[in-house]
Chain A
Amino acid sequence: FCVCVFVVSRSYADFTPQATFDIKKCEVHRLEEGPAGKAELTREQGLQYYRTMQTIRRMELRADQLYKQKIIRGFCHLYDGQEACAVGIESAINPSDHLITAYRSHGYTYTRGVSVKEILAELTGRKGGVAKGKGGSMHMYAPHFYGGNGIVGAQIPLGAGIALACQYQGNNQVCVTLYGDGAANQGQLFESFNMAALWKLPCIFICENNRYGMGTSVERASASTDYYMRGDFIPGIRVDGMDVLCVREATKFAADHCRAGKGPIVMELQTYRYHGHSMSDPGVSYRTREEIQEVRSKSDPISLLKERMLSSNMASAEEFKVIDVEIRKEVEEAAQFATSDPEPPLEELCNHIFYNEAPIEVRGTNPWSKLKSVS
C-alpha cells in the first residue's frame, strides 16, 4: 500500500492528516523479526477502512434480518466481528493479487470488488446476484477472487494451486489463502504446506482463528492451538485480527516475504465472530453471552479504529455519523433490490455447465423434458 500521503482538505484543515499508532507486536515462528510494532495511518485511509468495515458490518446485519424473514435460505455464515481481517488484508495487497476463502465469504466478496447490491441479491437468489442466483452465500466469485467454497479446507489446495500459477507465469503476484481454526486440522492443509514450501510458492496461508469451529472451541479440536506454528517448516506470524492496522502491517510483511521468493508464510489472525457459526446456530450454547459482550465492548474492530481516529483528531464524530448514514442508505437500497429483483428465469436453469461450448441438450426430470444449456 502507498507511503505517506498528506491529505490536506481545506474544510478539514483542523484534522491531523496522518498519525502513527502502536500496534500489538506479532509473535513469530521461524522468523528473525516480524512486522514493526507501529503503523502509519492517513486520514484518508482511516476513513476508507472505517467505511469498508462498517459497510460489511451493516451488510451482514441486514442479511441476518433477511434470513430471519426467510428471504434468504439455506446457509448463511456471517462475518460481523471479523471485518478487520478482510479490510486489513485487502489494504495490503494489490487488486491483481489473488484471494480465496471458505464459506464465511461475504466480507471478502465485498473487499474484492463486488457491490453490496450484488451480494445481497445473490443471497436472496435473484438474477441480479453476482452469480446470477446460481451460487448463493458460499459461491460468489469476482476477478482474482475464487470464492466462496463450501467444503471445509478444500479451498486451501486451490489457493496453493493459484500460487503455483503465479509462479509459473512469473507475474510477481501472490495468493492469499484463507481458512479457519476448524479447517486447520484438515489433512489437505498439510499437503498444501508441504508443496508450497517445497516449491516456494507465493502463497500466504491465513488462519482466521475465531476460536470456534462451529460449536467446538479450539481447545477441544486442536492438539496445538498455535495455528501460526502449525506450518512447521513454514514461518508464521500471530496477528491481532481485531486491529485493522495490525492485519494490514502483517499482510504487507507476508506479501513482501512471498514476493521476495522466500516461499509461503502462515498468518494466524486472532479474531471473533459475533454471530453463531451460521444463521441456524444461536451461538450461545458453546460460549457465554458475557464473552460475546466483552469482545464487543473491548475489541470491536470498527470501534477500535474509530476511537483511534477520534482521539488523534483525525476525524470528527459527525463525519463518522455521515458515513454511517450513507452506508445505511446504500445497504437499504441494496436490500430493496435484493428483495424486489426477480429470480433467475427457468430458461437459464441449465446454462453454464460448460464454457465455450455449443448449446447442449440436458435431460430434465423426466424423459420428455429436454432442456437447453448455453455456455
Chain B
Amino acid sequence: MAALRCFLRSGKGAVSVLLRRELHATAPASAQVMVRDALNQAMDEELERDERVFLLGEEVAQYDGAYKVSRGLWKKYGDKRIIDTPITEVMCDSVLAPPPQAGLRPICEFMTFNFSMQAIDQVINSAAKTYYMSAGLQPVPIVFRGPNGASAGVAAQHSQCFAAWYGHCPGLKVISPWSAEDCKGLLKSAIRDDNPVVFLENELMYGVPFEMSEEAQSKDFTIPIGKAKIERPGSHITLVSHSRFVGHCLDAAAVLAKEGIECEVINLRTIRPLDVECIEGSVMKTNHLVTVEGGWPQFGVGAEICARIMEGPAFNYLDAPAVRVTGVDIPMPYAKILEDNSIPQIKDIIFSVKKTLNV
C-alpha cells in the first residue's frame, strides 16, 4: 500500500495502477494512456479542428510545457498557435476576444493555479461576469487550465486547491477531472464551450496511466460538463470526490469491500455546475454520505455538497450526518511526514466510512 502510494505521489506511473484494472472493462483496441497524454491529445485534436483555438502560457511552446502537457504541439502548430508568454499571468488570461463568430478561443495555461491568483481578477471580473453584465452582448469563450492542489514537497505557496474559490463564482464552469478519459473528454468539451471554463488538473496525476476505450480515443469523444460519474457502484455508503482523491476513494473501497462494506464512489468530474442529482440518487440508495477532497474544509466543495443534500430530498434518506474528509486546515508544510499527514489518506477515508456506518 505504501509503495503504491509512493508511485502515485511521485507520478512516475510507468506501472499501471493495479487496483484500477479490475474496474475498467478492457474493451477491444483499448490502450493505456497517461493523463498527460490524454490532455495533450485533447488539445491537439481541438487545435486541428478549429483554427481559432490557440494555447498560451509560460513555457508551453519551446519548453514543451512545464509539465510536458503541451509536448510536441509547438513543433506541429508553430508560433502563431502555441505561444510562450513572459511571466505575466494577468496578460496571459486577458486574451478576451471579439464575439465567437469572429473571435478567438484561447486556452490559457497557468503553470499552477497558485499563480492564477495573480490574475484572478481577470478570471472573475473580466471573464466570468462579462456575459451577464453585457446582457448577452459579449461572450467569453476561454479555457483556463493547469495543475491545481497539492503536489509533492512543493510547500505552502504551491499547494493550494482552488476548486472552492472558482466554484463559488457564477459565470464560470469549473471542471476537476480524475482519469485520462475524464481529462480528454472534458478538456475537449471545455474548449468547445462558449463560456469561461476553469479546468483544474492535478500534477501528481499527469504520469498515471488509465485504460482508455477505443471510443474514448476517438477525435470526437467529449464528456458533457456538469455530469458526475459513478466509478464504482455500491449499496452501503456514498463516497463523493473529485480529482486525485477519486483514486483514494476507490482504494479505500477495495479495502472496505473485504470487510463486506460496499462503497459507491462518485467522481464529480465537474465542480460547477455540481451534479447534485447524481449524489442525491446515490444517497437515497445508500443512506450514508462521505465527501472527500484535498482542499481545506472551510467553505469548501464538501461543505457545499453537504448543504445541498440537507436542502434537498436526499436528507430524509440519511441515516447518519454527512461528513467531509478534507485537507488539514493549515498551510501545506514541507517535510514529508508533515505533508503526508496534511491531506486525506486512504486510512482517513476508511475511518470516516466506518464512523458514519457506526461499525
Contacts and interface: CB of A to CB of B under 8 A. Distances in A.
B122 A360 contact: no
Given A135-B135, A141-B138, A149-B126, A158 B195 contact: no
A146 B96 CA distance: 9
A161 B97 contact: yes
Interface string A121-141: 000000000111111000101
Contacts, number: 119
Interface in A180-209: 187-188, 191-192, 194-195, 198
- Interface of chain A, helix or strand or loop or mixed? loop
A355 B139 contact: yes
Contacts of B94: 154, 157-158, 160-161, 192
Contacts of A165: 95, 97-98, 103-104
Contacts of B195: 354-357
A2 interface: no
A357 B273 CA distance: 13
Interface string B54-81: 1000000000000000000000000010
B133 A168 contact: no
Interface string A98-134: 1000000000000000000000000000000011111
A353 B127 CA distance: 11
B96 A161 contact: yes
Contacts of B194: 354-357
A259 interface: no
A142 B273 CA distance: 29
A154 B122 contact: yes
A187 B89 CA distance: 11
Nearest to A133: B135
B338 to A, nearest CB: 34
Interface residues of B, number: 39
A150 B122 CA distance: 11
A135 B139 contact: no
Contact of A194 (B80, B88, B131): B88
- Interface of chain B, helix or strand or loop or mixed? loop
A144 interface: yes
Contacts of A134: 132-135
Contacts of B141: 355
A154 B126 contact: yes
Nearest to B310: A367
A162 B54 CA distance: 14
Contacts of B273: 360
A170 B334 CA distance: 49
Interface in A33-83: none
Contacts of B96: 146, 158, 161-162
A272 to B, nearest CB: 29
A356 B195 CA distance: 8
Given A157-B90, A195-B86, A353-B131, A142 B98 contact: no
A131 B54 contact: no
A231 to B, nearest CB: 15
A356 B311 CA distance: 29
B137 interface: yes
B55 to A, nearest CB: 12
Nearest to A367: B311
B136 A139 contact: no
A164 interface: yes
B121 interface: yes
Contacts of B97: 161-162, 165
Interface string A359-375: 01010000100000001
Given A151-B125, A162-B98, A165-B98, 15 more contacts: A131-B135, A134-B135, A135-B134, A147-B130, A151-B126, A162-B96, A165-B104, A168-B54, A168-B104, A351-B136, A352-B132, A352-B134, A354-B195, A355-B136, A367-B311
Interface of B: 54, 80, 85-86, 88, 90-91, 94-98, 100, 102-104, 121-122, 125-126, 130-139, 141, 170-171, 173, 194-195, 273, 311-312
- Nearest 3 CB-CB pairs, A to B? A157-B94, A355-B139, A367-B311
Interface of A: 98, 130-135, 139, 141-142, 144, 146-147, 149-151, 154, 157-158, 160-162, 164-165, 168-169, 187-188, 191-192, 194-195, 198, 351-357, 360, 362, 367, 375
29 contacts: A131-B135, A132-B135, A133-B135, A134-B133, A135-B134, A135-B135, A139-B134, A147-B130, A147-B134, A147-B138, A161-B97, A164-B95, A165-B97, A168-B54, A168-B80, A169-B104, A191-B86, A195-B86, A352-B131, A352-B134, A352-B135, A353-B170, A354-B131, A354-B173, A355-B136, A355-B139, A355-B195, A356-B100, A367-B312
